[in-house]
Structure 1
Amino acid sequence: MAEEASFRDKAGEEQAGGDERQRMLSHVRHSRILEHLSMTGSIGVTAIAADLGVSDMTIRRDLVELEREGRLVRVHGGAVLADAPASIAMDSEEPRFDARLRRGSDAKSAIAAYAATLVAGYRTLAVDVGTTTYLMAGHLRDAAHLKVFTNSLRISALLDGGAPEVYVAGGRVRAEEMSVYGPTAVAQFEKLWFDAAVLGTSGITAEGFFDYSFEDTDMKRVYLRRSGLRILLCDSAKFQRMSLVQVGAFSEISMLITDAEPPPRIAAALTAARVDVRIAPPYPGN
């Protein structure tokens, strides 16, 4: 009996020692994960598991624990550093079109030119109102095979005399934006199906993308529902900005074209929604 008790005591000590070693190993793994993140900004589960000599499942559990502590943000296949909670600016008033066109003009020109190269080969294209979409339309004047559908009178005027066929939704005109809106416009375009749609936005956060007006938002949502490829144009000055109406979540778009890498929380949300993020190269004309 004494020998049996001694064996149980020894087994308990070994178990306790094993648990303690496991806790230490977990602590070491967490330190290594955070060290790697601080140097690179992101990690992949498979790569860090191989580096630490543990299974992918072990690393996934580590990432869950570290995310609970607010040390990182998990994304598909790995994790990124958790940025400090960033303040989100609320834009309560829509600036005039001309003022918006001048703001961040280099970034918008780069995004517009790059977007045009991606959509020029399609047959039917829906183009939203906005300054960057307006600049993009200027690159499509020679696309003879293209049919452009828009609720922007500015874009239709810009393309007037160019090669594309232009179709404008009928409805009420919002004077300052020169956009067409209302149930008639929505009903007309709701009956169509577009190869691609290009949308503008007033800002994006990790929750999704926004616009200033209820009226234009209705048409944006038509484009999202009725298009195969859904492209959002957003210069980096609009990161962490929101306005009156949330148009949609990132799961509703296919691609984001911008001029700089999004901050970690927005990047993580985009990755989780499997959005293709494209960084536009500088435009030679700038």
Structure 2
Amino acid sequence: MAEDVSFREHSMAEPPAGEDRQRLLSHVRHARILDHLAAAGSVGVAVLAAELGVSDMTIRRDLLELERDGRLLRVHGGAVLAETPASVAMDSEEPRFDARLRRGSEAKSAIAACAAGIVAGYRTCAIDVGTTTYLMAGHLREAGHLKVFTNSLRVSTHLDGGAPEVYVAGGRVRPEEMSVWGPTAVAQFEKLWFDVAVLGTSGITSEGFFDYSFEDTDMKRVYLRRSGFKILLCDSAKFQRMSLVQVGTLADINLLITDAEPPSRIAAALAAARVELRIAPPAAGH
């Protein structure tokens, strides 16, 4: 409060007028917002508006201006510290499925088991392509009440002979990933509504989550649009990594399952977007 009083006294001693006053007030607000970010890693629109005595709309304009200057990144309900180029790694080529399956296998197994325990409580589930989603499918073979919808031929094969009913989208096959894509596949699943969708990703930053291919991204976005609850599976090796296509923002998902605490920027962005974070316990046998 003392800081507020001193600011008012300064304003009265040298009263600016018109646009000059507005620029001064904006400058002060921006400094306060950046101070909050430096201390907490994230800021909320409502909290800032109450503290600074201005409207939510004014704070949103301030955040937009600061984002344009590269000082922060806006997220749902507030903002987080901006990423710097040095803090994010870019993956330009998609490794082969078998190589990805071996990489970080313990972490992926733990995430898969945790996700399966959640999915087993639903009746209709959309399952994305990917190594961790593939491992999760193996835990669902006894879920007789479950209907599984997928564009992954690997997931459907993994469930072949199991209890769930499995429905595969029709379309063109991407050979290496064994994924089905194209307008026919999109149109088929766009007509459905899933209780839950489980997505994989190539990487995640505070800006959102990514994938290597345009083809598979189209189906991922169908799952996001047509599901009541959205789960993202991401092992910690993918934190602060991005690739060709941004699939969505963190506000597009409800739950992130991973194997370790994310970096502070991602954690702050998840909190701002109201995404639940779950750390998977080690899988049995590891």
Query: In 2 relative to 1, CA 160–250 (structure 1 residues): closer, same or farther, beyond 3 Å?
Result: same
1:82-97 correspondence to structure 2 within 5 Å: 86-97=86-97
Within 2, Cα distance between the matches of 1:118 and 1:93? Answer: 32
Kept in 1: contact 2:261–2:279 (CA 8 A):
no
1:141 and 2:152 aligned: no
Aligned residue number for residue 271 of structure 2: 271
Aligned residue number for residue 196 of structure 2: 196
In the comparison of the two structures, how many residue pairs are matched? 260
Within 1, Cα distance between the matches of 2:74 and 2:184? Answer: 44
Query: In 2 relative to 1, CA 234–174 (structure 1 residues): closer, same or farther, beyond 3 Å?
Result: same
Kept in 2: contact 1:111–1:259 (CA 8 A):
yes
Superposition RMSD in Å: 3.9
Aligned residue number for residue 6 of structure 1: none
Shift of 1:117: 1.0
Equivalent residue letter for 1:188:
Q
Shift of 1:206: 1.6
Query: In 2 relative to 1, CA 73–205 (structure 1 residues): closer, same or farther, beyond 3 Å?
Result: closer
Query: In 2 relative to 1, CA 195–214 (structure 1 residues): closer, same or farther, beyond 3 Å?
Result: same
Using the aligned pairs only, state the percent identity.
76
Kept in 1: contact 2:211–2:243 (CA 8 A):
yes
Within 1, Cα distance between the matches of 2:229 and 2:71? Answer: 35
Q: Which 10-residue stretch deviates more, 111-120 or 74-83?
A: 74-83
Secondary structure of the 2:93 match is coil
Secondary structure of the 1:269 match is helix
1:31-180 correspondence to structure 2 within 5 Å: 86-180=86-180
Within 1, Cα distance between the matches of 2:115 and 2:90? Answer: 27
Query: In 2 relative to 1, CA 79–180 (structure 1 residues): closer, same or farther, beyond 3 Å?
Result: closer
Secondary structure of the 1:256 match is strand
Kept in 1: contact 2:41–2:268 (CA 8 A):
no
Secondary structure of the 2:101 match is helix
Within 1, Cα distance between the matches of 2:234 and 2:267? Answer: 13
Equivalent residue letter for 2:282:
Y
Within 2, Cα distance between the matches of 1:224 and 1:105? Answer: 26
Equivalent residue letter for 1:144:
G
Aligned residue number for residue 185 of structure 2: 185
Secondary structure of the 1:173 match is strand
Secondary structure of the 2:215 match is helix
Equivalent residue letter for 1:149:
F
Scaled by the length of structure 1, what TM-score is found? 0.74
Kept in 2: contact 1:208–1:246 (CA 8 A):
yes
Secondary structure of the 1:271 match is helix
Scaled by the length of structure 2, what TM-score is found? 0.74
Aligned residue number for residue 215 of structure 2: 215
Equivalent residue letter for 1:97:
F
Within 2, Cα distance between the matches of 1:160 and 1:275? Answer: 36
Within 2, Cα distance between the matches of 1:75 and 1:223? Answer: 21
Within 2, Cα distance between the matches of 1:101 and 1:123? Answer: 27
Within 1, Cα distance between the matches of 2:173 and 2:250? Answer: 29
Within 2, Cα distance between the matches of 1:96 and 1:252? Answer: 27
Aligned residue number for residue 281 of structure 1: 280
Aligned residue number for residue 241 of structure 1: 241
Gaps of 5+ in 1: 1-11, 17-29, 45-54, 59-63
Within 2, Cα distance between the matches of 1:186 and 1:198? Answer: 16
Aligned residue number for residue 5 of structure 2: none
Query: In 2 relative to 1, CA 85–120 (structure 1 residues): closer, same or farther, beyond 3 Å?
Result: same
Query: In 2 relative to 1, CA 214–41 (structure 1 residues): closer, same or farther, beyond 3 Å?
Result: closer
Q: Which 10-residue stretch deviates more, 256-265 or 157-166?
A: 256-265
Kept in 1: contact 2:88–2:241 (CA 8 A):
yes
Within 2, Cα distance between the matches of 1:77 and 1:139? Answer: 36
Within 2, Cα distance between the matches of 1:85 and 1:92? Answer: 15
Kept in 1: contact 2:251–2:275 (CA 8 A):
no
1:16-31 correspondence to structure 2 within 5 Å: none
Aligned residue number for residue 224 of structure 1: 224
Equivalent residue letter for 1:241:
R
